[in-house]
Amino acid sequence: MSKRATPTKASDLPTKIVRGPDGKFVRLKVVKSDSPTLGRDLLGAFKSNVRRVREVRRKGDAADAS
């Protein structure tokens, strides 16, 4: 019987703060390519990014409706 591996949470991944091309600071999730859990780490970072983009879009839609 194989047991499914638990997905990596985005909060488990280290965060790096960098300045974007527009001068604003951006938080990035750092994924190490030699990690034995690379697939799970990438999925966790992807989910985090999707969640953040959806929040921004919801806030934008709420501001447009006002």
Residue 25 lies in a domain: yes
The answer to whether residue 40 is domain-embedded is yes
Single out the residue of 55, 50, 58, 59 nearest to residue 29, CA to CA: 50
Inform me whether the pLDDT recorded for 2 exceeds 60. no
Is position 26 within any domain? yes
**CA distance from start to end of the chain:** 54
The verdict on residue 37 lying in a domain is yes
Whether 40 contacts 24, CB under 8 Å: no
Q: How far is CA 26 from the centre of its chain?
A: 12
Mean pLDDT of 6-24: 84
- Residue 66: pLDDT band with limits 50, 70, 90: low
The count of structural domains within the chain is: 1
Q: Which pTM does this prediction carry?
A: 0.66
- 5 found inside a domain: no
In a domain, 49, yes or no: yes
pLDDT of residue 27: 84
Q: Is residue 28 part of a domain?
A: yes
In a domain, 2, yes or no: no
- As a whole number, the mean pLDDT across the chain is 82
> Which domain range does residue 42 map to?
10-65
Please state the length of the chain.
66
Query: Which one has a higher pLDDT value, 3 or 44?
Result: 44
pLDDT given at position 65: 61
